[in-house]
Amino acid sequence: MVLIKQKNRYKRHNRLRAKIFGTAKRPRLCVFRSIKYIYAQLINDEEGKIIIVVDDRKIKKEENKKTKTDKAKEVGRLIAKEAQIKKIKEIIFDRGGYKYHGRVKAVAEGAREGGLIF
């Protein structure tokens, strides 16, 4: 059951990846969601390099009492903050084959609140 779900997500992600491409000026914000954590990366597909990586394990221990959705929103804010430091304003959002709902949506909203445009 789990392998079938994972294969279907990979198929959806590959369909999405055929349509979107990150550049140095407008990198791709890729979201990965595990059962326990959420990860976000800014990727330059031209060079094949990861520019910034943020996950909810970087959030302070006192704030870990929040829900997973709150942590995901904070991850979006953190990646936006680090992108502003590297002078990145516009991104392309890659939901990673997941539905735009729940924690994935919270990352996107947090990044928008942080000042990223997509």
Structure-token match 């994972």, residue found: 6
Q: What is the DSSP letter of 102?
A: T
pLDDT in tens, the chain (118 residues): 789 999 999 999 999 999 999 999 999 999 999 999 999 999 999 999 999 999 988 777 666 678 999 999 999 999 999 999 999 999 999 999 999 999 999 999 999 999 999 8
Our CA angle for 101, 45, 56, nearest 5°, is 40
Give me the numbers of helices (H) and strands (E) for the chain, helices first please.
3, 4
pLDDT at 61: 65
How many CA atoms lie less than 13 Å away from 31 in the CB half-sphere? 29
Structural domains of the chain, ranges and CATH numbers in brackets: 2-113 (3.30.420.100)
Instruction: Give the model's pLDDT for residue 108.
Output: 97
Q: What's the pLDDT at 97?
A: 93
pTM of the complete model: 0.89
Closest by Cα among 85, 79, 30 to 71: 79
> Cα–chain-centroid distance for residue 8?
19
